[in-house]
Amino acid sequence: MASTVTSRTARRTSASRRNRRRAAADAGLLLAAAAFVLPLAWVVLSALDPQASLRVKVPDGVTLENFDAILTPEITFTPLLNSLILCGGATLLTVVCAALAAYPLSRFRSRLNRPFLLTILFATSLPITAIMVPVYALFVRVNMIDTMQGTIFFFAASQLPFAIWLMKNFMDGVPKELEEAAWTDGASSFQSLLRIVLPLMGPGVAVVTVFSFVMMWGNFFVPFMLLLSPDQMPASVSINDFFGNRGMVAYGQLAAFSIVYSTPVVLLYVLISRRLGGGFALGGAVKG
């Protein structure tokens, strides 16, 4: 009898501990969710508030005046076009170069593979501010300062190490037997890369594309240093214009611009979300 009571007490104690741990985990998740939701709520509500401030509050009256004020060529359309040119061109260059660099690292074995990959991994940890001074001096010497193509090249070069690392890991998941079958039919290595490897690793290419584009889209420091003409500045730099002198900030217009500025990234993710969730359905590809 005593052992039964002891067992029940132990079970109740254990259940009580599990409930406390679950409650603590739920509270932690709620705090983390609030940390993400509150800034988003401020952006949405302030964009519709004619008297927006730093407080998160329901606007007294909903208005679209903030959007009307920013939807002009000088404030929004030209900077967004510059951002699309810079980030789109650099992302395309990054994905192409990463695929060409990752293919031999994934398919051919060499003593230099591991040192090269470790060097790439080290390059991803370098802060961009540590190399901007020599890069700026180099761009001045080769007359690439204040040029869109020069900024595109540097964007691609800065994202390439991590893109190669990601692309190589995804490429390792494509069975080499598929390429060998293509080689017996007369395909070259470049043709097998284009027609077999890249289509099968579509989710990997999508991940590299989204990651590269997002990292470039939100980059303020690089275009601020390498571009001098106001008509070439991307949206990541022009957003600084909403912060006026003596602490005066147009919060409503800043929030409206932030929503418009975030739209291309959201659309890109939506467009390729099917590829992100597709996975590698290669199980039956090498059978028979």
Each residue's pLDDT tens digit in the chain (288 positions)? 556 656 666 666 777 777 888 888 888 888 888 888 888 888 888 888 888 888 888 887 788 888 998 999 998 999 999 999 999 999 999 999 999 988 888 887 777 777 877 887 777 777 787 788 888 999 999 999 999 999 999 999 989 988 988 898 888 888 888 877 878 877 787 888 888 888 888 888 888 999 899 999 989 999 999 998 989 999 999 888 887 655 578 888 889 999 999 999 888 888 877 656 544 444 434 443
Residues written for the chain: 288
Beta partners for residue 249, in sequence order:
243
Using CA atoms, how far apart are residues 113 and 123, in angstroms rounded to an integer? 15
Which residues lie closer than 8 Å to 222 by C-beta, 6 or more apart?
128, 132, 151, 154, 155, 158
Q: Is the dihedral of CA 185, 187, 188, 192 positive or negative?
A: negative
Angle between helices 251-276 and 78-107 (to 10 degrees): 30
Amino acid identity for residue 154 in this structure: F
